Structure formats: C-alpha cells, structure tokens
Amino acid sequence: MPGDVVVKIENLSFTYSSGDRPALSNINLEIKRGEYLGIMGLNGAGKTTLGLSINGIVPQSTMGIYEGSVTVEGLDTSTTPVREMARTVGIVFDNPEFQMSQVSAAEEVALGLENLGVPNPEMPPRVSAALATVGLAGFEERSPMGLSGGQQQRLAIASVLAMQPKILFMDEPTSNLDPIGKEEVFELARKLNRDEGLTVIVAEHESEVLAAYADRIVVLNEGKIFMIGTPSEVFSRGAELANIGIRVPQATELALALSTSGATGLPVTTGEAIEWLESRA
Ligand SMILES: Nc1ncnc2c1ncn2[C@@H]1O[C@H](COP(=O)(O)OP(=O)(O)O)[C@@H](O)[C@H]1O
Ligand SMILES: [Mg+2]
C-alpha cells in the first residue's frame, strides 16, 4: 500500500569499535513506501552508516556498539540475516567498477540470484527483464568492464532489481561518473520510483540533484539529524546549512539573496526560480 511506513528507525545509535565518536546518534526516522528520500551531509556525517543499518550490514557485519532499532517491512535488520535482507533492500555503491566481478553483464546480474538460490532455469528471463528495466536490453554478453560508468551503475542497479527489492539505497552513486552518467542513473532511479513504486534512498552531496528528485531530504551532521523536510523546506534554511558546510541549490541561493529575512517556501530548481521571480515582478 503506498504511503505506509516501510522503514522505521527508532533511537538508533551506532559507534564503530575503532570510532572515537558515534557514527549515528539517536536517529528517529520513518520512511514511507514509494518515497524518494535524499540523505545529505559532509563526509563522515553518517550517510553510509545510516544506509547500511537499513539492510543490516550495520550492525551484523561491522563491529561496534548498536542501540535502538531498525525495522524494514517489519523485519528487524539487526537480526534478520543480511542475505535475507537483500531481498528487501538493494544497495548500489559509489564505485561501479568495484561492484563488477563477472565476465558478462548477464553473469553479473545472475550472481545475486544464485546467492538467493533461484533455480537455474528461472534465471535467464529474470536477468533479461532486469537488464531491460535499466535500459540494457541486449547487453547480456557484454563485458561489464567495457561499459561506460553510467552503464555500469545501471548494471549494478539491474543486479539488485533482479532480487525484486522493495527499497533501493544508492550511496553517492554518481560521484565517479561524468554528467551524462549521472543523469542516466538519476533518471533511472526516478523511473523506478514513479513507475514501479520502488522506495528510493539516495546519499548525495549535490543539492541540485536532490532538489530535482527527492520528496524529502534528511540532513545529517556528525551522526545526528540536523534537519528534515521537503527540498524547499530544507534549502530555505540556507544560512543554517552553510554553518555545517552544506550549499543550497543555485536557484535557492538567488532567492535567498533577493529575499528579506525569514523567507520560506523558496525555489529549489531553475524552473521554480523563474516562477518565483515572475511572481515578485
Ligand atoms: N568501517 C568503519 N570503521 C570505523 N569507523 C568508521 C567506519 N565507517 C565509517 N566510520 C566513521 O563513522 C562516521 C560516519 O561515517 P560514514 O557513515 O561513512 O559517513 P558518510 O557516509 O556521511 O561520509 C565517521 O566518523 C567515520 O569515520
Ligand atoms: Mg559515505
């Protein structure tokens, strides 16, 4: 059912064994089915740790002190085996090359299915369907290493989609891609979110990207939730964000420069900025 809570995070704190401060500190957050959630914050703010807590790698495959709870579709991610969680939460990391281990795109996608124990005869149709969904139909025999960065990330997304997850967590998925690859990946995520109802969670430092795609943005600072709201709500508080080193979209910067203090509901995309300027004329 769209709109119900799929991820419930309560009083979550986590400190890595080797960490000198909590990576996450008393996080409370609910994510709704079909939501597109952005996570912002400087390096070390806790974005990756938060994402990994949603599929159970934190705390199951990491050493540290874990408090609170995370449930995903009712599954406790601290005890449900990570292998099992992979059916529900797919993860795509920042460096596509490190995620590629097979000689062909088809084998790359099949790998996850093998881990799930999907019978061999069922694999080819599921592999081809996943490749088609990400715009790589006919790429079955291509070498992953010969693909562009954007194609590699779409292949990584196909590999997790084949497992039919409900949630896709992408951790700075385009930080190693050129602008074309970046657009390919974010357009694909938007399509999966809108057309397939996939819940999308993206850690991303570029405010313009989240302004264009996210329903809601969580801003993390030193492991704590610093701010949460729609892109307009969050970016309208540009001065507070500047204090923790986060830049708002250029469209919002312009509006902030032209506004008297206390402005709310400021534009976050170029299109919105044009409307906003016209309404002031
Ligand atoms: N594997 C790890 N072992 C020890 N400390 C870690 C590990 N991963 C992250 N940290 C620490 O946890 C904090 C949050 O890191 P992280 O979640 O990677 O933030 P972000 O993704 O926002 O850059 C940082 O202080 C970081 O140094
Ligand atoms: Mg990170």
Q: Is 45 in the pocket of ligand 1 (CB under 6 A)?
A: yes
Query: At 36, which helix (H) or strand (E)?
Result: strand 36-40
Single pTM value for the model: 0.95
> 4 by DSSP, 3-state: which?
coil
CA distance 112 to 160: 7
Q: What is the pLDDT of residues 27-57, one digit of tens each?
A: 999 999 999 999 999 999 999 999 999 999 9
| Higher pLDDT, residue 173 or 265 | 173
Average pLDDT over residues 145-149: 94
Protein residue with least CA distance to atom 26, ligand 1: 44
Instruction: Please give the distance, rounded to the nearest whole angstrom, from the Cα atom of residue 50 to the centre of ligand 1.
Output: 10
User: What is the per-residue pLDDT for 174?
Assistant: 94
10 Å CB burial of residue 170 (0-12, 13-18, 19+) is: buried
Q: Which ligand sits nearest to residue 41's alpha carbon?
A: 1
Summarised one tens digit per residue, pLDDT across range 149-205 is 999 999 999 999 999 999 999 999 999 899 999 999 999 999 999 999 999 999 999
Query: Does residue 97 lie within any of the structural domains?
Result: no
Domain assignment of residue 130, yes or no: no
Residue 262's pLDDT band, with cuts at 50, 70 and 90, is low
User: How much is the pLDDT for 2?
Assistant: 64
pLDDT at 3 over 90: no
Q: How many CA atoms lie within 13 A of 91 on its CB side?
A: 20
The pair of three-digit structure tokens given for residue 221, joined into one six-digit string: 């600072």
pLDDT band at 89 (very low <50, low <70, confident <90, very high): very high
Residue 95 lies in a domain: no
Does any ligand 1 atom lie closer than 6 A to the CB of residue 221?
A: no
Half-sphere exposure of 110 (CA within 13 A, CB side): 16
What is the domain extent for residue 183? 5-88+165-231
Q: Does a structural domain hold residue 246?
A: no
- Its sign, for the CA torsion 115, 158, 129, 192, is positive
Q: Side chain identity at 152, as an amino acid letter?
A: Q
Tokens of 149: 């960065």
In Å, how far are 48, 147, 226 from 182, measured between CA atoms?
19, 14, 27
Q: What is the rounded CA–CA span in Å between residue 43 and residue 167?
A: 24
CB-CB contact of 112 with 86 (8 Å): yes
- Closest listed residue to residue 134, CA positions, set 148, 145, 120: 148
- Look up the CATH number of the domain holding residue 181: 3.40.50.300
Residues with CB under 5 A from ligand 2 (ion): 47-48
Contact criterion met (CB below 8 Å) for 164 and 196: no
Q: Is residue 78 part of a domain?
A: yes
φ, ψ of residue 167 in degrees (nearest 5): -130, 135
Domain count within the chain: 1
In the block, tokens 């402005």 appear at 263
Does residue 224 form part of some domain?
A: yes
Q: Does some domain include residue 57?
A: yes
pLDDT above 90 as % of the chain: 87
Residue 70 maps to a domain = yes
Number of residues assigned to the chain: 281
Q: Which residues are registered as beta bridge partners of 168?
A: 90, 200
Tokens of 144: 């992953």
**Residue 51 Cα: closest atom of ligand 1:** 17
Identify residue 247 by its one-letter amino acid code.
R
Smallest CA separation from ligand 1 atom 7, residue: 16
Task: Give yes or no for a contact between 46 and 36, defined as CB atoms under 8 angstroms apart.
Answer: no
